[in-house]
Structure 1
Amino acid sequence: MDDSTSVSVREARANLARLLDHAAEGEPTVITRGGAAVAAIVPIEEYNALEEAADELLARKALRTLAEEGDATRATLADVLADIFGTSEPDVE
Structure 2
Amino acid sequence: MDDSQNELSARDARAHFTEVITRAQGGTPTVITRNGQAVAAVVPIEDFNAFEDAIDRYFSRDADRDLAENPDTPTYSMAEVIPDYT
Structure 1 residues 4, 53: CA separation in 2 closer, same or farther (over 3 Å shift)? farther
Task: Give the TM-score of the pair, scaled to structure 2.
Answer: 0.80
Measure the CA separation in 1 of the matches of 2:15 and 2:76: 51
Question: Which ranges of structure 1 fall in alignment gaps of 5 or more residues?
Answer: 85-93
In angstroms, what is the RMSD of aligned CA positions? Answer: 2.2
1:60 aligns with 2:57: no
User: How many pairs are equivalent?
Assistant: 77
* Residue of structure 2 equivalent to 1:8: 9
1:67 match: secondary structure: helix
Deviations 1:8-53 (A, max 9, x none): 0000000000000000000000000000000000000000000000
User: CA 1:19–1:69 in structure 2 vs 1: closer, same or farther (change >3 Å)?
Assistant: same
> Displacement, 1:4?
7.4
Structure 1 residue 65 displacement after superposition: 0.2
Partner of 2:50: 49
Other structure's SS at 1:26 match: coil
Identity fraction in percent: 44
Unaligned stretches of 5+ residues in structure 2:
none
Higher radius of gyration, 1 or 2: 1
Q: Distance in 2 between matches of 1:75 and 1:53?
A: 23
Partner of 2:74: 74
Q: TM-score, normalised by structure 1?
A: 0.74
2:26 aligned partner, one-letter code: E
Counterpart for residue 35 of structure 2: 34
- Helix, strand or coil at the partner of 2:47: helix
